[in-house]
Amino acid sequence: VTSFPSLKRGIPALILAPMEGVTDAPMRAFQSERGAFTFCVSEFVRVSQDVLPAKVFRAHVPEILRPGCATESGTPVSIQLLGGDPARLAASAVVAVGAGAQAIDLNFGCPAPTVNRHDGGATLLKYPQRIRAIVEAVRAAVPLGVPVSAKLRLGWDTRDPIHENADMAAQGGADWITIHARTKMQGYQPPVFWEPIGEVNTRLGIPVVANGDIWTVDDFRRCRDETGCEHYMLGRSALADPWLPGRVARELGISGWRGGELDSDRDLVDWVPLLTRFAELSRPTSHGSGYTARRMKQWLRMASQRPEFRSGLERVKLCESTEQILTQLAQPSFGLQRLA
């Protein structure tokens, strides 16, 4: 088993974003077998009153049972922890590593009110010293070969705190940081502010991953021009445009794409083979077809700005099983036949 693909200056990387309730194990398996991503970050695993037992990690991140904590196609998964208590986070990280984790990411960006009330996620953006203390505690607790990274937003309600918070994460010993180019108060609303990422990237001695609103190759190029980063993270757009990860990987000079022709006109996407594969990959989770159908609908909602969905999404909404969804998508009236 090779070690985790730690980020290094001079070696570009593309990372699948953690998205709670979206990039679960079947979605990570789907995205990673297409070959664009260097690694994935798991959905957050919350550490509140107790140190987490290994079974929690096995349930949230089943890849932990596989060699190298990797998806079936061999893409490693970093495990993200969320919480506010350095000692409990550190002890939980030790349990995760004992159970097979190869890298730990720390969440300093989650805007959910319940999470913030319980002292985790973006709340910590208001307390630079606590960011440092958490990173330091986790870094000290796990072996040096296990990278520890931090994922930050620009700030709580202003953009300036990113400078001090990034410094604190680096001083705490983070191997790299990811910056989502929004404040907490913005939630997921535009606009993103990539420029501060560039300022941090120029100054900080550790790798910086740029994240937020890269929906097209043009967005990617503008983000690269503004930030100068070599490392990027894609979230919602990887689902909305199944070819974007391949195209961005190509821009970065990353080989390994296995998801098909990148240059044809992809005005319309044939979702049937993609969702069929996703259903196949979802089968081992034993959540049942209703669960997988809801996940498919969620995915199609993310893609719903695309032309093929202008009239079709309503019909998919009424479907209750994966089979019904696939049947609807295959209807000539859905517009997909124009793909051929």
Ligand X SMILES: Cc1cc2nc3c(=O)[nH]c(=O)nc-3n(C[C@H](O)[C@H](O)[C@H](O)COP(=O)(O)O)c2cc1C
Interaction of residue 180 with ligand X, rule CB under 6 A: yes
Contact pattern for ligand X over residues 130 through 159, marking x by CB under 6 A: ---------------------x--------
> Of 110 and 326, which has the nearer Cβ to ligand X?
110
User: Residues with Cβ < 8 Å from 42, sequence gap 6 or more?
Assistant: 18, 23, 28, 60, 61, 63, 77, 78, 79, 80, 105
Contact pattern for ligand X over residues 21 through 40, marking x by CB under 6 A: xx------------------
Binds ligand X (CB under 6 A): choice among 211, 282, 322, 328: 211
- Minimal distance, residue 153 CB to ligand X, in Å: 8
- Site size for ligand X (CB under 6 A): 23
Query: Which residue has the CB atom at the shortest distance from ligand X?
Result: 235
- Minimal distance, residue 50 CB to ligand X, in Å: 20
Query: In degrees rounded to 5, what are phi and psi of residue 306?
Result: -70, 150
Positions annotated as catalytic residues are 110
> Of 193 and 276, which has the nearer Cβ to ligand X?
193
Binds ligand X (CB under 6 A): choice among 62, 109, 128, 196: 109
Q: Which stretch binds ligand X (CB under 6 A): 29-37, 160-168, 209-217, 308-316?
A: 209-217
Q: Do 40 and 78 form a contact (C-beta atoms < 8 A)?
A: yes
> Of 32 and 107, which has the nearer Cβ to ligand X?
107
Interaction of residue 219 with ligand X, rule CB under 6 A: no
> Of 212 and 246, which has the nearer Cβ to ligand X?
212
User: By CB under 6 A, what part of segment 230-269 binds ligand X?
Assistant: 234-237
- Minimal distance, residue 105 CB to ligand X, in Å: 7
One-letter amino acid at 138 equals V
Binds ligand X (CB under 6 A): choice among 5, 15, 35, 43: 43
Interaction of residue 116 with ligand X, rule CB under 6 A: no
Q: What is the CA radius of gyration of the chain?
A: 20
- Minimal distance, residue 327 CB to ligand X, in Å: 27
Binds ligand X (CB under 6 A): choice among 11, 19, 204, 272: 19
Query: How far is it, in rounded angstroms, from Cα 304 to Cα 311?
Result: 10
Given the rule CB under 6 A, which residues bind ligand X? Answer: 17-22, 43-44, 80, 107, 109-110, 151, 180, 188, 211-214, 234-237
